[in-house]
Amino acid sequence: MLNVTINDKDVSVETGATILEAARSAGVQIPTLCNLEHLSPLGACRVCVVEVEGAKALMAACATPVRDGMVIHTNSPRARTARKTVVDLLLSEHEGNCQYCDRSLDCELRVLSFDLGIQEPMYVGAKPGGQADFSTPALVRDGEKCVKCRRCVTVCNEVQQVGALFPQYRGYETVIGPAFAMNLDDVACVQCGQCAAVCPVGAITERSHMEGVWKALADPDLHVIVQTAPAVRAALGECFGMEPGRLVTGQMVTALRELGFDGIFDTNFTADLTIMEEGTELLTRLKGALAPDDPQLPPPALPMFTSCSPGWIKFAEYYFPDMLGHLSTCKSPQQMFGAIAKTYYAEKVGVDPAKMVVVSVMPCTAKKFEAARSELADSGFQDVDFVLTTRELGRMIQAGGVDFASLPDGTMDSPLGYSSGAADIFANTGGVMEAALRTAYELVTGRELPVDNLHVAPVAGLEGVKEAEIQITAPLPDWAFLDGVTVRVAVAHGLGNAAAVMRAVRSGERTYHFVEVMTCPGGCIGGGGQPRFTTDAVRLARINAIYREDEGKPHRKSHENPDVLELYASFLGQPLGEKSHHLLHTNYEARARV
Amino acid sequence: MHVQTAQTVAPLDQALVDSLDAYIREHQEEAGNLIPVLQYAQSAFGYLPEDVLKHISEALQISYSEVTGVVTFYSFFSTVPRGKHIVRVCLGTACYVRGGKEVLRAFRETLGIDVGGTTEDREFSLEVGRCFGACGLAPVVMVGDDVHQRVKPSGVKDILAQYEGVNA
Ligand code: SF4
Ligand code: SF4
Ligand code: SF4
Ligand code: FES
C-alpha cells in the first residue's frame, strides 16, 4: 500500500494505482476525456492534469502511477488553468451547435466547459472541419464534432479488434476515422456502435429512425406494432434520470401505449422461440456428430455458435468466413419476431402484412443494420421496418410529453407478449447459454437443470471468456447416445474475446459443443444503443436487474411458455419444421474485409 | 479536406508481389513489422498502391485503417506514383533563413503541386528535406541526385527545364 495526500486528504492505495484511481477512491473527481476504464491509458487529452508537489510539470492523472508520499492537488489554480486551456483549445476546433446536437443532454465536452466556467471562445482560428458520414445503416459520424480523444479507436481496436477506426494523417490534419478518412462502409465495420457508446461528444451516434416511427404512428392506415428487447427494460429508466438497474418493464409498456402503438409485444417472446429452435438445432447437430443416422454424411459443424447478435454475425462473415457453418442458422429474436408478426399474427388479427409496420426497440445499433439485410424478408415483407435504440425510445417518450416516472405499470399484449424468465436473460452475457441449457437439459433428461436457482454460475459475470461443463446422465431413450457425455460450453462477450475463442476452436486447442457470443461487453445490456455512459458498475447493475426479472417470472424455461407452445401447435408445427425453416432460419455470406 | 487516397494505376508486377510476400514471410512474427514492410513495398513499387496496402493489411492481419493510418502519418510514404524527378527543397535552419521557404513557394507555384504531390504528367514530385549537409551553399535544392546551390526563386524555372522530359 502507498500513502499519498490528495487535496489535503490522506489516502492509501494499492501499489500501481494511478493518481486518477487514487483520487476516485478518495471521492475526489478529476475530469477525464480520453481515458476508458480497464484500458491502457493514452494520456492524450491532458484534461486530467493535476499538480504534484515537487514535480515541475503537471501530470496526467490517468497515466501517472502514484508514488509513496506524493502530495497531489487536483484543483490548484495551476491545474485548473491548464485544464481550462486544454478544453478551450478543444472548443476552438470544435464545430458544433449544441441546440441541434444529438448529445445536447449528455455531452461530456459541454459539461467540461460548463464545469470549468468557460463562457466565451478564448482562441479563434481555423477549424479543421470534417465530413459527415451517412454511409452505413446504423451509424452517423460527424467529423466536425470530433475532439480526437481516440476513445472510439481504443474500443474498436482493443475491445472489438475490428480496427475500422484509426487516426489518419497527422497534426492539425488528423482525422479519427476509417482508412484515408473515407466512409465507414469502405472498411470492415460491424456496426456494433461501441464507438458511439464511448464517444464523449456528438461525433458518432446512431442513425435515427425516430421520424419514420412518428410518421407511421400518425398514419391511420397502418397497423404499427412494437417489440422491446430484453435489455431495454433494465436501462430505459436511465434516460429519465433513474439509477442504473431500475427495472421499468411495466412503465415502458404504458409509455408505448401512450405513444399510440397498436400492439405492444416482446422480443422476449421470440427469445423463447429462439431457444426452441436453437436448442433443437444443437441437439440435432450433436446427434449428427455422435450418433449419425447416416454415417456417410459429413458430420455437422461443432461447436455451434449462437447467432442472436448481428455485430458478431458480421464480424464472423468478415474474419472467419471459413467457419460460418458453425453459426446457428437461427435468425435473431428481433427478426423472428418480424417474421412471425407478419404471418401468424397478421392472420390472427386480420391485418394485411403490407399495412403492418414492425418497430423494434433495441439496446443495439447493429440491429438497424440487421433489419436492413435484404435476405431477412421471408414473409414477403422486410421482417422489421424500424429499429429504435433505447436512447431513441427515451427521446420519443420525452417528446411525446409522457411523464415516464409517474406512469402506472402496463402489461404486454397477447399473443406475442408473454415470455419466460429464460428470455429475459438473453440480455446478459451468458444468458442465452443459460436459457438454452435450461431447455436442452430438460428435453434430453426429463429433469430440471441441476444448478442453484437455474443459474449456470460459471458463465455469468463480466469475465471475457467463460467455460462450463455439464454432465449428461440417464437421458430419455431418444437421447441415449448422450449418456455419459460431458457437454462443454463457452461464453464470450466483446468481439476480441470472441475472436480468441474462434481461433482456439479453429486450431483445435479448444473443443466445445456450444458457444455463446455477444458483440458488446456485458452482453446486450452494454449495447451500443444503451443510455450513456456504460461502465462496469452500470453493466453489473443492469445484469442483476435482468436476473431479478427472470427470477420473478412464473415460467422460467422457454419450453414452458404457453404462447410459444400454442404458436407451434396452431401454426409452426415443430421446431426445425418446414415452416420454421422458412421463416425463422437464415444463412450467412462471407464478406471481403478490405 | 484531404484528397489523398490510394490508387493502383497499373496492374501490379507479379514478381514484385512475390518478393513482397517473401519479405513479409521473413518478418511475419516480428513486432512492429508494419513500417519495414511498407518501406520495402514502397521501394519495390515506387509508391504504395491501394492494392498493395490491402494486400499488406491481409498478410499482416492488421486492419486496413491502421495500415493507412501509419501510411498517412509518415511523410515518406506515398500512395501516388512518384514523379520521374524528385525535387527536394531543404528547409534546414541555414536554408530556411536564407530563403528556402521562398524557393519552396516558387517550386509549388511553378509545378502547381503541394509538398508530397506529383505533377499530372508525373515528371516531378515535390518534397522538403531537413539539411543535406551543404549549409555553406544554402539554400540548397536536390533534384534526383543532383545538388543545386544558392537557388533563387527566380531560378526555379531554369532548374526544372533541365529535367523536363529527360529520363531520370
Ligand atoms: S458535441 Fe457537445 S459541445 Fe458539441 S455541439 Fe454537441 S452537445 Fe454541443
Ligand atoms: S461500430 Fe463497432 S466496428 Fe464499427 S467503427 Fe464502431 S466500434 Fe468499430
Ligand atoms: S469520434 Fe468521438 S470518441 Fe472518436 S476520437 Fe472523435 S470525439 Fe473521440
Ligand atoms: S484523461 Fe488523462 S490524458 Fe486524457
How far, in Å, from the CA of A92 to the mean position of ligand 4? 19
A281 is catalytic: yes
The pLDDT of B111-117, averaged and rounded, is 89
- b/e per residue, A28-46, with b = 16+ CB within 10 A? bebbbbbbbeeeebbebbb
Which H or E element spans position A397? helix A390-399
The x, y and z cell numbers of residue A293, run together, are: 443416422
- Neighboring chain A residues of B68 at a CB cutoff of 8 Å: 166, 168, 179-180
A202 & A232 share domain: no
- b/e per residue, B101-115, with b = 16+ CB within 10 A? bebbebbbebbebeb
Predicted local confidence at residue B1, as pLDDT: 39
Residue of A nearest to B63 (CA): A163
Nearest residue to A495 (alpha-carbon basis) of A304, A312, A318: A312
Predicted local confidence at residue B132, as pLDDT: 83
Q: Flag if B6 and A162 touch (Cβ within 8 Å).
A: no
Which of A14, A375, A469, A566 is catalytic? The answer is A375
pLDDT tens profile A325-336: 999 999 999 999
- Residue B7 pLDDT greater than 80, yes or no: no
The pLDDT of A50-59, averaged and rounded, is 95
**Of the residues A189, A206, A223, which one is the last residue of a structural domain?**
A206
Tell me, using a 6 A CB cutoff, whether residue A283 lines ligand 3.
no
Please indicate, yes or no, if residue A123 is contained in any of the structural domains: no
Residue A188 DSSP SS3? coil
Nearest residue to B138 (alpha-carbon basis) of B88, B86, B102, B93: B93
Predicted local confidence at residue B4, as pLDDT: 59
How far, in Å, from the CA of A506 to the mean position of ligand 2? 24
Predicted local confidence at residue B168, as pLDDT: 65
- Residue A209 pLDDT greater than 70, yes or no: yes
pLDDT tens profile A181-194: 999 999 999 999 99
A187 & A311 share domain: no
**Of the residues A206, A241, A260, which one is the last residue of a structural domain?**
A206
- Which residue has a Cα nearest atom 4 of ligand 3? A152
Provide DSSP, chain B.
---------SPPPHHHHHHHHHHHHHHTT-TT-HHHHHHHHHHHHSS--HHHHHHHHHHHT--HHHHHHHHHHSTT--SSPPPSEEEEEE-SHHHIIIIIHHHHHHHHHHHT--TT-B-TTSSEEEEEES--S-GGG-S-EEETTEEE-S--GGGHHHHHHTTTT---
Q: Total structural domains in chain A?
A: 3
Predicted local confidence at residue B3, as pLDDT: 45
A327 & A300 share domain: yes
A434 & A515 share domain: yes
A186 & A320 share domain: no
| Partner residue facing A187 (CB), from B5, B62, B64 | B64
Please indicate, yes or no, if residue A72 is contained in any of the structural domains: yes
Residues for chain B: how many in total?
168
How far, in Å, from the CA of B83 to the mean position of ligand 2? 37
Please indicate, yes or no, if residue A518 is contained in any of the structural domains: yes
How far, in Å, from the CA of B151 to the mean position of ligand 3? 45
Predicted local confidence at residue B2, as pLDDT: 44
Distance (Å) from the C-alpha of residue B119 to the closest C-alpha of chain A?
A: 21
The x, y and z cell numbers of residue A442, run together, are: 430438460
Which of A113, A307, A328, A419 is catalytic? The answer is A328
Share of chain B above pLDDT 90, in %: 62
Strands A386-389, A304-305: pairing kind:
unpaired
CA distances from B52 to A407, A591, B9, B56, B111 (A): 60, 19, 11, 6, 28
- Neighboring chain A residues of B54 at a CB cutoff of 8 Å: 594
Q: Does A506 touch chain B (CB under 8 A)?
A: no
The pLDDT of A354-378, averaged and rounded, is 97
Domain CATH number, residue A105: 3.30.70.20
The residues, any chain, with a CB within 8 Å of residue A218's CB and separated by 6 or more, are: none
How far, in Å, from the CA of B18 to the mean position of ligand 4? 44
Strands A59-60, A49-52: pairing kind:
antiparallel
Q: Does A173 touch chain B (CB under 8 A)?
A: yes
| Partner residue facing B63 (CB), from A162, A177, A182 | A162
pLDDT band per the 50, 70, 90 thresholds, residue A414: very high
A484 & A439 share domain: yes
- Which residue has a Cα nearest atom 3 of ligand 4? A43
Of the CA atoms within 13 Å of residue A225, those in its CB half-sphere come to 30
pLDDT band per the 50, 70, 90 thresholds, residue A434: very high
Predicted local confidence at residue A30, as pLDDT: 96
- Return the minimum-mean-pLDDT range out of A363-367, A458-462, B133-137: B133-137
- Across chain A, mean pLDDT equals 96
How far, in Å, from the CA of A108 to the mean position of ligand 1? 8
Q: What is the DSSP letter of A592?
A: -
Identify the residue with better confidence: A129 or A510.
A510
A308 is catalytic: yes
Provide DSSP, A542-588.
HHHHHHHHHHT-S--SGGG-HHHHHHIIIII-STTSHHHHHHHB---
- Neighboring chain B residues of A167 at a CB cutoff of 8 Å: 69, 73
Residue of A nearest to B1 (CA): A130
The pLDDT of B87-97, averaged and rounded, is 92
A189 & A322 share domain: no
Please indicate, yes or no, if residue A457 is contained in any of the structural domains: yes
Q: Does B6 touch chain A (CB under 8 A)?
A: yes
The x, y and z cell numbers of residue A101, run together, are: 446536437
- A475 preceded by cis ω (within 30°)? no
- Neighboring chain B residues of A181 at a CB cutoff of 8 Å: 1-2
CA distances from B93 to B130, B138, B145 (A): 8, 10, 21
CA distance linking residue A236 with residue A530, whole number of Å:
8
Q: Flag if A187 and B4 touch (Cβ within 8 Å).
A: no
Question: Residue A78's domain spans which residues?
Answer: 2-89
Distance (Å) from the C-alpha of residue B76 to the closest C-alpha of chain A?
A: 12
Which of A51, A370, A516, A549 is catalytic? The answer is A370
- Please give the torsion angle defined by the CA atoms of residues A520, A526, A529 and A531, in that order, rounded to the nearest 10 degrees: -160
pLDDT band per the 50, 70, 90 thresholds, residue A251: very high
Radius of gyration of chain B (CA): 18
CA distance linking residue A224 with residue A260, whole number of Å:
8
CA distance linking residue A113 with residue A84, whole number of Å:
8
- Which residue has a Cα nearest atom 1 of ligand 4? A32
Longest dimension (CA), chain A: 79
Q: Which residues pair with B143 in a beta bridge?
A: B87, B146
CB-defined site of ligand 2, < 6 Å: A 139, 155-156, 160, 162, 164-165, 189-195
| Partner residue facing B65 (CB), from A129, A163, A170 | A163
A211 is catalytic: no
- Which residue has a Cα nearest atom 6 of ligand 2? A195
The pLDDT of A132-143, averaged and rounded, is 96
Q: Flag if A168 and B72 touch (Cβ within 8 Å).
A: yes
| Partner residue facing B66 (CB), from A131, A166, A182 | A166
User: Positive or negative CA dihedral for B106, B110, B114, B115?
Assistant: negative
Q: Does A165 touch chain B (CB under 8 A)?
A: yes
On whether the CB atoms of residues B55 and B13 are closer than 8 A, the answer is: no
pLDDT tens profile B13-69: 899 999 999 999 999 989 999 999 999 999 899 899 999 999 999 999 999 999 999
- Residue A483 pLDDT greater than 70, yes or no: yes
Residue A238 DSSP SS3? helix
- b/e per residue, A290-313, with b = 16+ CB within 10 A? eeeeeeeeeebbbbbbbbbbbbbb
Nearest residue to A427 (alpha-carbon basis) of A308, A565, A562, A253: A308
pTM of the model: 0.91
Q: Does B7 touch chain A (CB under 8 A)?
A: no
A240 & A202 share domain: no
Ligand 4 atom showing the smallest separation from residue A46 Cα = 3
Longest dimension (CA), chain B: 52
Q: Flag if B68 and A170 touch (Cβ within 8 Å).
A: no
- Please give the torsion angle defined by the CA atoms of residues B6, B9, B14 and B20, in that order, rounded to the nearest 10 degrees: -30
CA distance linking residue A168 with residue A179, whole number of Å:
7
Which of A93, A108, A278, A434 is catalytic? The answer is A278
CA distance linking residue A464 with residue A160, whole number of Å:
12
Strands B85-90, A514-518: pairing kind:
unpaired
Residue A296 DSSP SS3? coil
Q: Does A327 touch chain B (CB under 8 A)?
A: no
The pLDDT of A19-40, averaged and rounded, is 94
Q: What is the DSSP letter of A330?
A: B
pLDDT tens profile A453-477: 999 999 999 999 999 999 999 999 9
The x, y and z cell numbers of residue A49, run together, are: 492534469
pLDDT tens profile A84-126: 999 999 999 899 889 999 999 999 999 999 999 998 888 887 8
Beta carbons within 10 angstroms of residue A433's beta carbon: 26
A152 & A237 share domain: no
A195 & A284 share domain: no
**Of the residues A68, A89, A110, which one is the last residue of a structural domain?**
A89
A162 & A85 share domain: no
| Partner residue facing B72 (CB), from A129, A180, A594 | A180
Predicted local confidence at residue A422, as pLDDT: 98
| Partner residue facing A180 (CB), from B4, B57, B58 | B4
Can you say how many angstroms the Cα of residue A581 is from the centroid of all Cα atoms in its chain?
27
Beta carbons within 10 angstroms of residue A172's beta carbon: 8
Q: Does A188 touch chain B (CB under 8 A)?
A: yes
A82 & A104 share domain: no
Distance (Å) from the C-alpha of residue B78 to the closest C-alpha of chain A?
A: 12
pLDDT band per the 50, 70, 90 thresholds, residue B131: confident
User: Positive or negative CA dihedral for A245, A250, A255, A257?
Assistant: positive
pLDDT tens profile A485-541: 999 999 999 999 999 999 999 999 999 999 999 999 999 999 999 999 999 999 999
The pLDDT of A557-569, averaged and rounded, is 98
- Per residue, the 3-state secondary structure of B59-97, as one string, reads HHCCCHHHHHHHHHHCCCCCCCCCCCEEEEEECCHHHHH
CA distances from B131 to A544, B136, B143 (A): 64, 11, 14
